[in-house]
Structure 1
Amino acid sequence: MNGKFKIITAMLIFGSIGAFVKNINLSSSEIALLRGVIGSLFLICVILFGRRKPSFKSLKQNLVLLILSGSAIGFNWILLFQSYKYTTISNATLSYYFAPIFVIILAPLVLKEKLTPVKVGCIVTAMIGLFLVVNIGVGGTSSSHNNIVGILYGLSAAVLYASVILMNKFLRNLEGFETTLVQLIVAAIVLSPYVFIKDHMDFSGLNSPASIINILILGIIHTGIAYFLYFTSVKELNGQTIAVLSYIDPISAVIIAAVFLGETMSFMQMIGGGLILCATFLSERLGRADLKQCSDRGRYSG
């Protein structure tokens, strides 16, 4: 399997995550915990059977950042899954893809990067796109389908996603696969007491074969297999190819939601979504040019 086929497959898997989450009868925190547990167990098996040897010295050197970023990933999942519950998958995905814009905003403080006119243009373009998505979406909002709340959850998840991207830039001597495995383990550990306090660890929603199958698919396929495909493909492709093919994720998410869940977007919302994706794509290209390297995007939405 070549690199392009791997990453395209991974992006299609990530794009379908919302459709599965919407059909799991558990709280967002329970879903996030089980995803972390099942996904990390799968990747541990990959390491054992593949005879990979993690660099424990490097893991120890980066331990604090791995703990912080792993914790952010866990709560990022909770917020994203909450977004799916309140709004459409399209709105949740587009608001979540605001993360690179938040990276641009925070980069001058964290990475000491200059905020150039082009980057400001990306921010303004994304804001206009978000306004179109939110403003048009409010008209069709019902009490059980609160677009504003859902989009706010998506944006909050994007902030945590952005923090993970920034923290990952400070990691040293670690491969993306090792980083992701440790972060998933940390996410599962950190979420355990949270879920125990909030939901009492009863997992009563797993009362049907469908729910059990969906959570296993989420953990094994959407996390374990998709992450494995993504990180093995990264080694075979250049940064520009990865950036372009990564946008199969949000586009496929919108298509899957329309075909299988009957979700629709107005013409103006489509324009808004296009503006957001164009702005984030350009911002990522600028980020790679500034750093002269392909940073791991960290597939934590999916």
Structure 2
Amino acid sequence: MSTDTTATNQEKKGAVELTLAMVLSGTLGVFVIESGASPFNVVFFRCLFGTVALGLYCLVRGFFKNHGFTAKKLGLAALGGAFIVFNWAFLFKSYEGTSISVATVVYHTQPFYVMLLGSLLFRDKLTATKFGWLGVAFVGLILVAGVSASDLTGSGDSSYVAGLGYALLAAVFYAVSTLITKRVTGVRPHLVALVQLVLGIFLLLPFTALSETKGLGADWGWLVGLGVIHTCVMYVLMYSSYQKLPTPKIAVLAFVYPAVAMLMDWAVYGHSVSLLQALGIPLIVAASLGINLGWSFKGRTAEPTPAAPAAGTVTARAAGAKVEINSGGTR
């Protein structure tokens, strides 16, 4: 089999893996709501069951040998993990005030906070084109949010505004985690994610009401699913696909996640976005792709920025090329 054919087959395999991972991500909200647990309880048990499943996977694959961690890298991974686990808690909290659809789309303004914080904290270059895409995303966000004047004056639905706030806060925490964790190089993303999950167990324990779990019954299955399916299986699929796919395909396929999330929200709970909100979605999608793929308003394509469908980036090598892939996961 020729080298070109092998590369093509690998890319197809990567596309299938990432699509499956994003489909799983899209069902996350349903698992969270159906579990009947509070957001902090959900994240605690996601970390607990995810640690067991992902830890066993890493053990079987021999990833603990020559792990590549130093004290500095371990500290950075842990610091990024602190932001990522609270990012999950705020995202899940946002479902209560808004809906899975609205919270997910608002949450997908993450790349722009990464861009802004990177410019402020690390002096990353912020061009006029990037500012332009930021403006497009902001208009889309206003439309998707669907906040009325009464909501802001207090005579409307304050829980809806709070839900939007939690989704935005989750996105900012994602951005901080990404900027921190992307500096952890030379370590398998599975191990970085495992560090973050273990840390999450201890960080969230004070916020977890274990007494509430007595009446969960069969709903424990949803929590186990969040740890095994939406953490271990999803991460394994994502990290495998990132090594096989070019940045443009990763950036495009990442939007399977919000599409499936909106479909599930409609199919399971009957929630749908209004026409005005729907007009904002393609603006956010276009702006995100524009930033990730280096689109220019003048028709020229700049150097693309690696896509970040999950929080925290680490560096891996695939086919001799340096590829940024993500660890930690935001779903």
Counterparts in 2 of 1:88 and 1:103: CA distance versus 1, 3 Å: same
1:175-190 to 2 correspondences below 5 Å: 175-190=188-203
- Structure 1, unpaired ranges of 5+: none
| Partners of 1:129 and 1:26 in 2: CA distance | 32
Aligned to 1:223: 231
Residue 300 of structure 1 pairs with residue 308 of structure 2: no
| Partners of 1:58 and 1:74 in 2: CA distance | 21
- 1:36 to partner: Cα distance: 0.7
Counterparts in 2 of 1:299 and 1:52: CA distance versus 1, 3 Å: closer
- 1:194 to partner: Cα distance: 3.2
- 1:254 to partner: Cα distance: 0.8
Aligned to 1:96: 107
Counterparts in 2 of 1:73 and 1:55: CA distance versus 1, 3 Å: farther
Contact conserved, 1:136 with 1:268, CA < 8 A, in 2? no
| Partners of 1:54 and 1:137 in 2: CA distance | 55
Counterparts in 2 of 1:59 and 1:93: CA distance versus 1, 3 Å: farther
| Partners of 1:182 and 1:54 in 2: CA distance | 15
1:41-120 to 2 correspondences below 5 Å: 41-120=52-131
Contact conserved, 1:136 with 1:266, CA < 8 A, in 2? no
- Aligned partner of 1:7 among 6, 11, 18: 18
Q: Residue 2 of structure 1 aligns to a residue in which SS?
A: helix
- 1:147 to partner: Cα distance: 2.2
Deviates more, 1:83-92 or 1:173-182: 173-182
Contact conserved, 2:150 with 2:156, CA < 8 A, in 1? no
Deviates more, 1:186-195 or 1:78-87: 186-195
Contact conserved, 2:80 with 2:180, CA < 8 A, in 1? yes
- 1:12 to partner: Cα distance: 0.1
Counterparts in 2 of 1:239 and 1:174: CA distance versus 1, 3 Å: same
Aligned to 2:212: 203
- 1:111 to partner: Cα distance: 2.8
Counterparts in 2 of 1:87 and 1:293: CA distance versus 1, 3 Å: farther
Counterparts in 2 of 1:63 and 1:253: CA distance versus 1, 3 Å: same
- Aligned partner of 1:167 among 180, 193, 196: 180
Q: Residue 58 of structure 1 aligns to a residue in which SS?
A: coil
TM-score normalised by the chain length of structure 1: 0.90
Q: Residue 21 of structure 2 aligns to a residue in which SS?
A: helix
- 1:203 to partner: Cα distance: 3.4
| Partners of 1:276 and 1:293 in 2: CA distance | 28
- Structure 2, unpaired ranges of 5+: 1-11, 295-301, 307-320
Aligned to 1:121: 132
Q: Which amino acid aligns with 2:132?
A: G
Q: Which amino acid aligns with 1:262?
A: G
TM-score normalised by the chain length of structure 2: 0.82
Aligned to 1:151: 164
Aligned to 1:262: 270
- 1:154 to partner: Cα distance: 0.3
Q: Residue 79 of structure 1 aligns to a residue in which SS?
A: helix
| Partners of 1:138 and 1:300 in 2: CA distance | 35
- 1:279 to partner: Cα distance: 1.3
Contact conserved, 2:144 with 2:277, CA < 8 A, in 1? yes
Please identify the structure whose Cα radius of gyration is greater.
2
| Partners of 2:67 and 2:326 in 1: CA distance | 23
Counterparts in 2 of 1:294 and 1:119: CA distance versus 1, 3 Å: farther
| Partners of 1:66 and 1:26 in 2: CA distance | 28
Contact conserved, 1:92 with 1:150, CA < 8 A, in 2? yes
- 1:52 to partner: Cα distance: 2.6
RMSD: 2.5
- Aligned partner of 1:131 among 131, 138, 142: 142
- Aligned partner of 1:243 among 224, 242, 251: 251
| Partners of 1:161 and 1:94 in 2: CA distance | 14
Contact conserved, 1:77 with 1:300, CA < 8 A, in 2? no
- 1:143 to partner: Cα distance: 7.8
Counterparts in 2 of 1:61 and 1:90: CA distance versus 1, 3 Å: same
| Partners of 1:59 and 1:282 in 2: CA distance | 36
Question: Which deviations, in whole Å up to 9, do the C-alpha atoms of 1:35-54 show, x marking residues without a partner?
Answer: 01111110111012223334
Contact conserved, 1:58 with 1:172, CA < 8 A, in 2? no
Residue 282 of structure 1 pairs with residue 311 of structure 2: no
Count of residues paired in the alignment: 297
Counterparts in 2 of 1:72 and 1:86: CA distance versus 1, 3 Å: same
| Partners of 2:129 and 2:268 in 1: CA distance | 38
Q: Residue 123 of structure 2 aligns to a residue in which SS?
A: coil
- 1:262 to partner: Cα distance: 0.6
